[in-house]
Chains A and B, each alone.
Chain A
Amino acid sequence: MKHFAKGLFAFAMTGVAIFAAPAVAEFKGLEIIAPGGPGSGQDQAARAMADALAKDRLASNVQVVNIPGGGGMIALSQFVTSKENNNHAVLTQGFGHVIFPISNKSPVSLADVKPLALLAGEYEVMVVPADSPLKSIDDVIARFKADPGKFIWGGGSAGSTENIFYALIAKQVGMDPKKVNFLPHANTGEIITSVLGKQVNVGGGGYQDFAPQIEAGKLRIIAVASPERLPGIDAPTLKEKGIDVVLANWRGVSVHKSLTDKQTAEVAAVFDQMVKSPRWQQIMKERGWLDLYKPSADYAVFLEGEQKKVREILVELGLAQ
């Protein structure tokens, strides 16, 4: 274990030396704006960043600012209007912030900020109660096709990752996504309760949310929406079962559009060092987040892909034009 950490540290140091020439010195003052209240997913991600940046001395005086409300759009619009030319402020975002502006025709969207880095995330998984007759994704699809109305899929809120997840699966197996009987829930605890209490046939979410119940033998995992099988998770990917759905609940950061390329590169360098820092690696491990790091340009391309994917499926669901 110690060895591993040492290796990581050495790796991080190399990373600093190779990539981060302009900002080897500590970055002075950084405001991380989380579009969500204290304790929300965005807040947790923002505080994890602040923790790693401070602990590994990559930035000083790091502050997390919570701006809850409006599906994250209040934070986004405040960021756009008040942080012009401010190269000491970043905004966190997630997959949900791709979905919301499309389904709600909001005046602002992630297109109004400059993507800085994709950081971490979790692939979606599908679970059933341990004693469910559904043993595989084939069973799930067969039951769904036989009587779509009676087959209930449980997930987060309307327009959540799971909503998109199930719609994509339905489309892949040749069913109308509108046929998915989706039951929204306020939080993961409610989803687990619904699955265990057999109020729904399948549940969806991040693996870590279900891990304790799976370990206790109360839930069974059916499939993972990752590109390849994940270490430590005993389940096939949807892809290998012929259902081409890869979907992660990810977290990333952006900066204001007005920043020059040089300014952007300076902030990007800070996060580039952070993702390799021992503290960040440790946090990701503890929380079961996967390293999905993509630097600015790649993140922008990735975002476009996500936007296209979401828009298409939301149109088919009748939730967007």
Chain B
Amino acid sequence: MDTFLALLHGFEVALQPLNLFWAAVGVTLGTAVGVLPGIGPSVAIALLLPITGGLDPTPAFIMFAGVYYGAQYGGSTASILLNTPGESGAMMTALDGHAMARKGRAAQALATAAIGSFVAGTIATIGLTLVAPLLVDLALLLGAPEYFGLIVLALAVITTILGNSLSLGFISLFLGLLIGCVGLDPQTGQARFSFGAMELLDGIDTVILAIGLFAVSEILFAASRARYHTEELYRLAGSLWMSAQDWSRSWRSWLRGTAIGFPLGALPAGGSELPTILSYTLERRLSPHKEEFGNGAIEGVAGPEAANNASAAGAIAPLLALGLPTSATAAMLLAGFQQFGIRPGPLLFETNASLVWGLIASLYISNVLLLVLNLPMVGLWVRLLTLPRPLLFGGIVAFASLGAYTLNYNTFDLALLFLFGLLGFVMRVVNAPVIPAILGLILGPLLEQHLRRSLAIGEGSPMILFERPISCTLILLAIVVVLSPLAVRIWSARADRRASTGAA
């Protein structure tokens, strides 16, 4: 009951006109940076930090919360309209969201993303109020072997489910894992695959690979087919509103996305990527419209968007209680705390109650503001797609380049972007899925880190992965996931043979 009173007090704080003003500034700014690829919410908060030095901590954090959530809305907008996911959490949204846009259903995709984020944000905020301490315990419970198992399972699930060919999927995955090996070795700090280029020492940024493989390669592909292809793209079809069918296909996905995103957001396993990936996979598995996935299934937008938003709320608990940032943006919020001399810890809920609960309440208020701000904008956003195609494509390339360049203000990253664009073009031509590669890059370094940590704990023996029940279960599940399509194929082949011999 106490926590509800505290949350109520939080709302009191967050609803003060001045704080509300900062929340509005935050969400507007956040939406803008979310739309721009490259400038993610973490960079935006970092740039705001010195400016907010003169503010009280409470309004400053209310604004940061607005930026955090706003950027996620903005990120999905860019993914859907332009196929340029500005932050990795919006990557899964790009898959079906952009496919919907190509079919003229951009408005519905934007709407299900906005409403889904709102629903997920609402539930997750309530969840945070109720079970914040449990989330902290969850983060403490899992060690390196468990994270290793979780990541192996995620990689296995997504690679087997995406694309038509298991071998092409795994080739793509291992390509990503290889790219993820570039940079400093996490255990010894020695450079790997850097070829003497200092720009490669910190590894390759996921956003560059994602934008290269998604946006640049798509434009190359479209350009290469332009002469033969007269398909009408992006033509707006019918109403801008979600139909009854859209609603009925979306709401379960929103709830499932929330259920996945909220607890996983509290784990230091790659921020919002893992929840959005798992949500997408789950939606695809459960949907009666499996064939639509990749071609504009609304569930494929609704689920990951909800998961993305819920994970942002889930990340707050370990951040406040342990100072454990589970995403890049959470890490920036942490830097913000440090700037104000506030140190996250178990006592923060008591010593800075009005800040903590004001922050949680403002997360919720940001959601409301964003919904109000974004839904009317949908009509305006989709007009962007009515631009003539050469202009639109040129614009996307310029936009993608800007995004890659602003990551480190480095032309090296631009060269990488177009290199990956070419790679993506080749992958499209041979019909290889690109998501496993991006996943390999995101999760590969984490996978390695947790594997090597596990081995260090087990004094070099891999048995530690199987001695701990949770990690053992997860790894066995992963093996089942990979082998099951093979098994099904063998069985059905055998059944066919039996049927044909029976007929003869």
Contacts and interface: CB of A to CB of B under 8 A. Distances in A.
Partners in one complex: yes
Contacts, number: 145
Interface string A49-77: 01100000000000010011111011001
A211 B348 CA distance: 12
B423 interface: no
A319 B324 CA distance: 29
Interface string B115-153: 000000000000000000000000111111000000000
Given A51-B50, A70-B201, A212-B343, A158 B322 contact: no
A39 B198 contact: no
Given A158-B189, A193-B324, A286-B341, A216 B347 contact: yes
A183 B49 contact: no
Interface string B311-334: 000000011001111000001101
A319 B334 CA distance: 32
A295 interface: no
B444 to A, nearest CB: 14
Nearest to A55: B53
B346 A184 contact: no
Interface stretch (B215-223, B283-291, B453-461, B491-499): B453-461
Contacts of B345: 211-213, 215-216
A38 interface: yes
A38 B318 contact: no
Contact of B324 (A181, A192, A287): A192
Nearest to A77: B198
Contact of B46 (A37, A99, A186): A37
A73 B338 contact: no
Contact of A196 (B50, B189, B322, B332): B322
A151 B174 CA distance: 34
A135 B134 CA distance: 29
Contact of B201 (A73, A152, A189): A73
B188 A319 contact: yes
Interface stretch (B80-88, B89-97, B179-187, B430-438): B179-187
A149 interface: yes
Interface residues of B, number: 54
Interface string B354-392: 000000000000000000000000000000000000000
Given A70-B201, A70-B202, A71-B184, A189 B334 contact: yes
A199 B323 contact: no
B319 to A, nearest CB: 8
A139 interface: no
A189 B318 contact: yes
Given A150-B459, A197-B143, A188 B49 contact: no
Nearest to B198: A70
Nearest to B335: A39
A152 B456 contact: yes
B190 A183 contact: no
A218 B189 contact: no
B42 interface: yes
B456 A181 contact: yes
A197 B141 contact: yes
Contacts of B408: 68-69
A213 B345 CA distance: 6
B411 interface: no
B348 A212 contact: yes
A74 B201 CA distance: 10
A189 to B, nearest CB: 3
A187 B186 CA distance: 12
A158 B187 contact: yes
Contacts of A209: 323
Interface string A285-315: 0110000000000000000000000000000
A212 B50 contact: no
B462 interface: no
Contacts of B49: 38-39, 47
Nearest to B47: A38
Nearest to B196: A107
B43 interface: yes
Contact of B346 (A157, A197, A212, A286): A212
Nearest to A147: B459
A132 interface: no
Contacts of B50: 47, 50-51, 64
Nearest to A218: B346
A319 B189 contact: yes
Contacts of B294: none
B71 interface: no
A272 interface: no
A61 B370 CA distance: 36
A84 interface: no
Interface string A166-204: 000000000000000111101111101110110100000
Given A70-B198, A192-B322, A212 B184 contact: no
A39 B52 CA distance: 14
Contact of B190 (A103, A181, A211): A103
A104 B456 CA distance: 23
A87 to B, nearest CB: 24
For the complex of A and B, 7 pairs with smallest distance between CB atoms = A212-B345, A38-B46, A159-B189, A189-B324, A158-B189, A286-B341, A70-B198
